Chains A and B, each alone.
Chain A
Amino acid sequence: MNFSLTEDQRMLADAALAFTRKQSPVSRMRKLRDDPIGWSPEVWRQMAELGWLGLTFPEAVGGLGGSFVDLALVLEQLGQTLVPEPIVPSLVAGMAILAAGDAAQQRAYLAPMVAGRSSLALAWAEADGRYDPGQVATRAERTSAGFRLIGHKRFVLDGHAAAELVVSAQDGEGVSLFVVDPKAPGVRVRPVRTLDGRRAALIDLDVEVAPDRRLAGNGKAALEHALDIGAAAACAEGVGVMRAVLAMTTEYLRTREQFGVKIGSFQVLQHRAVDMFIETELAYSAAIAAAIRIDDDNPAERTAAVTSAKVQLAESGRYVTQQAIQLHGGIGITDEHDVGLYFKRMVALNAMFGDAEHQLTRFAARPGFLAGV
């Protein structure tokens, strides 16, 4: 049992903190809301140089072969200023390629992303599937040239800007994963603005795909693992979001005056702030467990830790960001104030990779739930 950071981990977290302070305060994300891409390719390359894009990927594709905990430390820092670069969308698509792709596919698709030359997106969600990655209506039909993919994917995070899409489709053997070039004829990418000031895409597919773009391994298992990684990543980022609004709110309580006194002297507001603090600590505790367990050899441990962290994130994150607005009063409702940006990011984090109800159902359905009963 050990929760201490190694020297390397401490340096990594410090570097991420310095980056948010010097280069990416919230004002940068605020400006990028109006940008058609929503993030900066230049900053993306810089993140590659810092090693962040390759933290969880092997050296063979230019990565560092580190643990997910390392990445979680970075994501928590980046969450504090709502850094908009698509690390998590590229991470989940990349981890799916890592799990199901052969060595050539890994090199071909992961190396450019790890080097910061491009980003990746995971196209898995469909209209009638909600959060279930097994509900796939998209078909992959065999053709003389390889496969023809036909279907529709929704809310593909960073799908509007990614260089490659990892697409789930039924190919007769079950769910398989295909790497699709979004610029290929027969792929229609419709960018949509999301409430957190970012972009996703609706993607219509009726496209020829070469055989070497079908990932060799078990697509369903790779997809499920990738989504769990995404959930754990959302938890880490969400803790950063909570820490930031907690700090912002307590600072406001210490400085804002009404009735001739600082409003932080009112007990009802103090106790609300304490509950925000408690929820942040609990979400952090659960997020650490998920980050550690995500690589656990025992998949039951992984599921239990990730699902519970995502439920905790939803409950805590909702409470903390909503109360942050409440304690700011009217100013918290304005677009001009940052607290609303954090509130909306938390809504997005809660929805991505399976919301609280979905994860709660998974948690309660796993065999271990009734162990010893």
Chain B
Amino acid sequence: MDLALSPKHTAFRDEVRAFIADALPAHLRPKAEIDGHFEHHEVMEWHRILYKKGWAAPNWPVEHGGPGLDATSRFILHDELELASTPPLSPFGLMMVGPAIIQFGTQDQQRRFLPKILAGEEVWCQGYSEPNAGSDLASLKTAAEDAGSHFVVNGQKTWTTYAQHANWIFCLVRTDPRAKKQSGITFLLIDLKTPGVTVKPFLTIGGTPAFSETWFDNVKVPKQNVVGSIDGGWTVAKALLGHERTQTAAVGVTGRTLRKCKRIAARTRVGDHMLIDDPVFRGKLARLEIRHRSLQMANWRALAGAQLGHAPGPESSILKIRGSELVQQAYELAMELMGHDALAWFPEPGVVADLEESVASQFCYFRATTIYAGSNEIQRNIIAKHILGLG
């Protein structure tokens, strides 16, 4: 056993770090420094820079424009981008519908959609959840009625993250209302400019319009926009969940948040000492960092397995649960460290330290991490059934 990165991977990590230091535009750096919130156009600017470098879609095969990196290099790239607080690229095209089209799409679909996803010329969002189909996704009701050469779609999708910035949405729709639950669902690509589509953003508790609701009122969608087979959408959706499981722990996000906590504590004076020297807070920080280290190790174990081409082992199933909890705990500690400053909501410059400006908003928004991508309760159901043999 050995914990050292291979020389090849060490060199790649150094290359990524050097690239970020060099390529992140000067006007985005202040936000990266303080781990601030990036606007859509800023994210897309960074997308185009990564695209030029060939790193926008690290997990795509080379023939579709991927860089041909192995599992460990992909993880390193992801982790370093997170650690450096670079603008987070939208995952819906690059990580979700792109791989789905690569795996299940026709050649026409691949030619039509993949280059524009890769280049950031078309932005995607996800239409899975509905007001009455959350964790029980298969009970979704948005209907696509067969009208010969096209479908007519009616219904409502929710949590369509950043749909207000998107050009396309990939949806799970019901094509066979008589079929049982998971059967009778189709994976459908819909152009958001089609007449009958309405997108309405709404604020999250973080004070940012991250989510939208999307309505479909007699929306005509050509049949060539089906990915996989008609009524076979559940297979496509399930395959998507299996991609890049080693990245679900977001250890880079927690790592940078703990670093931020230390910075806040090191700059906060309490009478005659700094907060970082308070044994209670220092102990809290150390405890969280230790949990983070353990999770990182579990993550490396999962990755070492993936690098060898093994199927994900039991350690990979815990990554999402503990990773999402740790991000929340790290932000909670940041809030505690800030004391009164934590109460400032989208403050004008100078009200609180730059480093602290976005903490309250992110602390609130990150309550979502244990809910999205399959709530942690659903994740526990899956582990109980498939790993522990309970139920």
Interface residues of A (CB under 8 A from B): 1-5, 69, 250, 253-254, 264-265, 267, 269-271, 273-275, 277-278, 281-283, 285-286, 288-289, 291-293, 304, 307-309, 311-312, 315, 360-361, 363-364, 369-370, 372-373
Contact = CB atoms under 8 A, between A and B. Distances in A.
SS of B interface (majority): helix
A277 B391 contact: no
A145 to B, nearest CB: 47
B308 interface: yes
13 contacts: A1-B303, A3-B301, A254-B390, A267-B381, A267-B384, A270-B380, A270-B384, A271-B380, A274-B383, A277-B314, A309-B294, A311-B290, A360-B283
A-B complex: 4 closest residue pairs judged by Cβ atoms:
A285-B297, A270-B384, A364-B286, A264-B390
B321 interface: yes
A363 B301 contact: no
Contacts of A364: 282-283, 285-286
A277 B387 contact: yes
B318 A282 contact: yes
Contacts of A269: 390
B388 interface: yes
B298 A273 contact: no
Given A69-B1, A363-B290, 7 more contacts: A1-B307, A2-B2, A278-B321, A285-B298, A289-B293, A364-B285, A370-B262
Contacts of B285: 364
Contacts of B390: 250, 253-254, 264-265, 269-270, 273
Nearest to B301: A3
Nearest to B261: A373
Interface of B: 1-6, 9, 72, 259, 262-263, 266, 276, 282-283, 285-287, 289-291, 293-295, 297-298, 300-301, 303-305, 307-308, 314-315, 318, 321-322, 377, 380-381, 383-384, 387-391
Contacts of B282: 364
B290 A308 contact: yes
A1 B389 contact: no
Nearest to B379: A274
Given A311-B287, A363-B286, A364-B286, A277 B294 contact: no
A1 B4 contact: yes
Nearest to B72: A1
A281 B298 contact: yes
B266 A1 contact: no
B381 to A, nearest CB: 7
Contacts of B276: 370, 373
A275 B384 CA distance: 10
A372 B295 contact: no
Contacts of A308: 289-290, 293-294
Nearest to A271: B380
A293 B297 CA distance: 12
A270 B380 CA distance: 8
Contact of A4 (B262, B290, B293, B308): B308
Contacts of A4: 1, 304, 308
Contact of B2 (A250, A292, A315): A292
Contacts of A278: 318, 321-322, 383
B301 A285 contact: yes
A273 B388 contact: yes
Contacts of B321: 274, 278
Nearest to B315: A281
A277 B383 contact: yes
Nearest to B286: A364
A158 to B, nearest CB: 29
> Among B4, B286, B295, B389, which residue has the most Cβ atoms of chain A within 10 A?
B286
B93 to A, nearest CB: 30
Contact of A2 (B287, B289, B304, B315): B304
A162 B377 CA distance: 51
Given A1-B3, A270-B380, A292-B1, A373 B266 contact: yes
B382 to A, nearest CB: 9
Contacts of B72: 1
Contacts of B266: 370, 373
B380 A1 contact: no
B2 A277 contact: no
A253 B262 CA distance: 43
A277 B3 contact: no
Nearest to B290: A308
Contact of B318 (A277, A309, A311): A277
Nearest to A282: B294
B324 to A, nearest CB: 12
Contact of B300 (A1, A69, A277, A311): A1
A55 to B, nearest CB: 15
Contacts of A265: 390-391
Contacts of A360: 283, 286-287, 290
Contacts of B300: 1, 3
Contacts of B391: 264-265, 270
A60 to B, nearest CB: 25
A350 to B, nearest CB: 14
Contact of A283 (B2, B4, B294, B314): B294
Nearest to A72: B1
Given A270-B388, A289-B3, A1 B318 contact: no
B384 A271 contact: yes
Contacts of B380: 270-271, 274-275
